[in-house]
Amino acid sequence: MNYADLFRAMLPETALEIAALLVVVVDLAFLRKAALNTRAAIAALLGIVGCLAGVWLMQGQGVATFSVDGTPGTALLVTGGYAAVAQIAILILTAFTLVLLLDSRFTRHVGEYVAVVLMSATGGLIICGAQDLLVIFVGLELLSLGLYILTAFAKRSGKSAEGALKYYLFGGMSAAFLLFGFSYLYGFAGSTNLQEVFAAIVAPDVSSSPLLYVALVAVAAGLGFKVAAFPFHLWAPDAYEGAPAPAAAFIASVSKVASFALLITITAAILPSRWSLLLVILAAASMFAGNLAALAQVSVRRLLAYSAIAHAGYMLLGLAYFSDRSRDALLYYIVTYALTTIGAFGVVGVVERATGTDRFDGFLGLNKRNPLLAAVLLVLFLSLAGIPPLVGFWAKFNLFAAVLTTHASGLSFALVALAVGFSAVSLYYYLQVLKRAFVMAPTDESRIKVDPVVMLVLLLIAAAVVVLGCFPALLQNWIGIASKAF
């Protein structure tokens, strides 16, 4: 293994780490006396520069594999291909979530906050390209530990602490499950490399072994936790509700993109049908539980959490019927979904700061209090519900078409029908929020002020949702070309 090559492959991660350290140093050393707003702006700016530097450094990377002794059987990391798509998405989405910091007042330690976000994103970058169980686990923990801290960052809020603790306890348990499953896979293969694992588990004596089921179920539990699939979703509503808005946006977007990229890697490596069966069960259960539970919510954050569970269900469907085509469709889905969610949390954060609550009532008369913000909310929520011509509709259509094209059977068709049916259900709860914003009479008509930069970014996200929905080929072609290179 050539360490210079490995270093080159890890340049984006390195850029993020350097940016993280720089943010802390600058904030602690030079900005002690500055106003909080200035510090937040500078910290966010440095973080964004770090992310953009990461994107820029990815340009030079081709498709390459890095292994211990040069053989595929010892591969650790890959660059390029769908991993690159996910990594670029992570970097850009992280930059967006950092902007949201400008309109938040949950902490005085903005430097640390940005640093933790960047380090967590580094973990996300690593798991996108990981090809080895150990690298996967290390990357995943790097990502997760950051998320626990971020959830707890609003120290004065009890909910924040509660959410973080729940997140941490469930996270620790699921990490244990994952490691347990990995250990069995290692036991079968005698190697932590994914290709070796695959070669081992398709062997006749292993593929019928009950221990393999135990291993796969444990892995599914560990990863199901990361994507908040039912029944491993219990942390999500509390974490989404308790975490500061920018942190919640980060959890809901960047962490999801990274986790689904990892799921793609694992699914592509261990194709056997029993893994599909597990995913089908998780998908159907998540669609059911997420959509039905969302109907009963009165807090917008919890609503977004349950809708995230439902969306995870749709996406798992794309994994269960896996092909190159459904992989691309899934990437399209997760990237656009993450973008939309960041915008949604941005709006929720602004409203929450102005009204002191994220309950439905806080959104009363938003249309009157800030028409632009209300318009952004309209676009984002309708996109989440899957109304054309917004990007959420296209993502769903593309994914379901890919599923049916990949595998046409009664079961796949029934699952797609279920998913489409549940989209109709989901319109109800999204409309509940929009109804408050546009239809019902406001109790307070004072204007809601938004930081101009945040407003600009929210408008940008809404515009992207509209444009990508009207011209879906733009992003789709890019994903298709980029991921084929792998």
Q: Which residues lie near another protein (CB under 8 A)?
A: 375, 382, 387-389, 393, 397-398, 400-401, 404-405, 408, 413, 416-417, 420-421, 423-424, 427-428, 431, 435, 438-439, 472-473, 476-477, 480
Task: Please report how close the Cβ of residue 339 comes to another protein at its closest, in angstroms.
Answer: 19
Instruction: Provide the residue type at 67 as one letter.
Output: S
d(CA 93, CA 35): 27
Task: Please report how close the Cβ of residue 479 comes to another protein at its closest, in angstroms.
Answer: 10
Task: Please report how close the Cβ of residue 114 comes to another protein at its closest, in angstroms.
Answer: 36
Q: Which is nearer to another protein, 233 or 325 (CB)?
A: 325
Task: Please report how close the Cβ of residue 196 comes to another protein at its closest, in angstroms.
Answer: 34
Q: Pick from 440, 344, 335: which is nearest to 385 by CA?
A: 344
Q: Which is nearer to another protein, 96 or 400 (CB)?
A: 400
**Chain center to CA of 479:** 17
Task: Please report how close the Cβ of residue 332 comes to another protein at its closest, in angstroms.
Answer: 11
d(CA 88, CA 95): 11
Tell whether the torsion through CA atoms of 350, 351, 353 and 358 is positive or negative.
negative
Is the preceding omega at residue 72 within 30 degrees of 0, hence cis? no
Residue with token string 């975490």: 243
Q: Which is nearer to another protein, 23 or 374 (CB)?
A: 374
Task: Please report how close the Cβ of residue 469 comes to another protein at its closest, in angstroms.
Answer: 9
Task: Please report how close the Cβ of residue 324 comes to another protein at its closest, in angstroms.
Answer: 12
Say which DSSP state 101 is in.
Answer: G
Say which DSSP state 203 is in.
Answer: S
Task: Please report how close the Cβ of residue 427 comes to another protein at its closest, in angstroms.
Answer: 5
Q: Which is nearer to another protein, 28 or 473 (CB)?
A: 473
Encoding tokens for residue 327?
């992989």
Q: Which is nearer to another protein, 31 or 375 (CB)?
A: 375
Task: Please report how close the Cβ of residue 369 comes to another protein at its closest, in angstroms.
Answer: 14
Q: Which is nearer to another protein, 203 or 424 (CB)?
A: 424
d(CA 367, CA 358): 16
Q: Pick from 377, 375, 137, 344: which is nearest to 240 by CA?
A: 344
DSSP states of 322-352 as a string? --HHHHHHHHHHHHHHHHHHHHHHHHHHHHH
CB of 106 closer than 8 Å to CB of 157: yes
d(CA 485, CA 193): 21
Q: Which is nearer to another protein, 276 or 476 (CB)?
A: 476
Say which DSSP state 356 is in.
Answer: S
Q: Which is nearer to another protein, 244 or 365 (CB)?
A: 365
CB of 340 closer than 8 Å to CB of 465: yes
Q: Which is nearer to another protein, 19 or 329 (CB)?
A: 329
Instruction: Provide the residue type at 186 as one letter.
Output: Y
End-to-end CA distance of the chain: 20
